[in-house]
Structure 1
Amino acid sequence: MLEDHKQKADKDITYMIITVSDTRTKATDKSGQLIHTTLEEEGFTLGKFEIVVDEKEDIQQAIKDGVNDAHMDAIIINGGTGIANRDVTIESVQPLFDKEIPGFGELFRYLSYKYDIGPAAMLSRATAGTIRSTVLFAMPGSSKAVELAMKKLIVPELAHMVFELKKDR
């Protein structure tokens, strides 16, 4: 049954990248570029790429702009998911979710623990959810974390998730 859904899933997906950082620029945003390159290689289409500062209002406005774009299927956020005072990505995205997808954060922390940073994985507050017919992922800004999330979790399921969100429309 799951394989049937995955086979029906369309690869015609448009995505938005939001990098949350007080210091990164387009030239220094390695993680945002990694997200773009990974999804482009899968045949997905970049709709918008934005860098916003670690401010709740700015993060939420960027998300709302993406969700209000009828062509945007997915929003991928990197940065601001830790426990420092300036890390407000999770506080920004969670109130906007229609449905939270806790499995993403759980699996991300497990894989981070097992394959990357060990017990420091518990400091990650990575999460995912849906807002109307858009799926949103929020992950740390480190390139290693982005590569792990993209290759092990997001790329294998993105088309299936978008299919699920759109099948009843």
Structure 2
Amino acid sequence: MQDIIIDETFEEEDTQKGRFLTFTLGNEVYGIEIMFVTEIIGIQMITEVPQLPDYIRGIINLRGKIIPVMDVRLRFNKKPKEYNDRTCIIVVDMKEISVGLIVDSVSEVISIQEEDIIPPPELNKYSNRYIKAIGKAGSDVKLILDCNKLLNDEEAETIYGL
């Protein structure tokens, strides 16, 4: 009898395929592939670090690990909004570092079938730089972020050097 080896990483990735954590910024609903998300925490004390871009609010200490936090509203050139009890930090792994994404509120984890995910329309070369795809969930539309494009290599290197 031949041994069967199951690749657990494949199994884990397969169960996460098509699953997205949804969150809101104003009236828009965005989604992040669940495989990037490590945890969701409430807003907490942020230590400012000088000479970083405005959208990088600073750093937090998460159980002994220092994590830079990005205000996604500011990254998307939206008006700043006062943080409240619904404001969350989604901790994601991107470009081999952990980054906290500050969002207005977290909604839910949803599944979107592959056939319901389409590329974003080409309006101009900058309009969709952070949007990987558009997901159709019933009559709703979710803008699916490309986590790897939220920071370019130079920005990631600057943040990693904190």
Work out whether the TM-score is over 0.5.
no
Structure richer in helix, relative to its length: 1
Structure with the greater alpha carbon radius of gyration: 2
Structure richer in strand, relative to its length: 2
TM-score by length of 2: 0.28
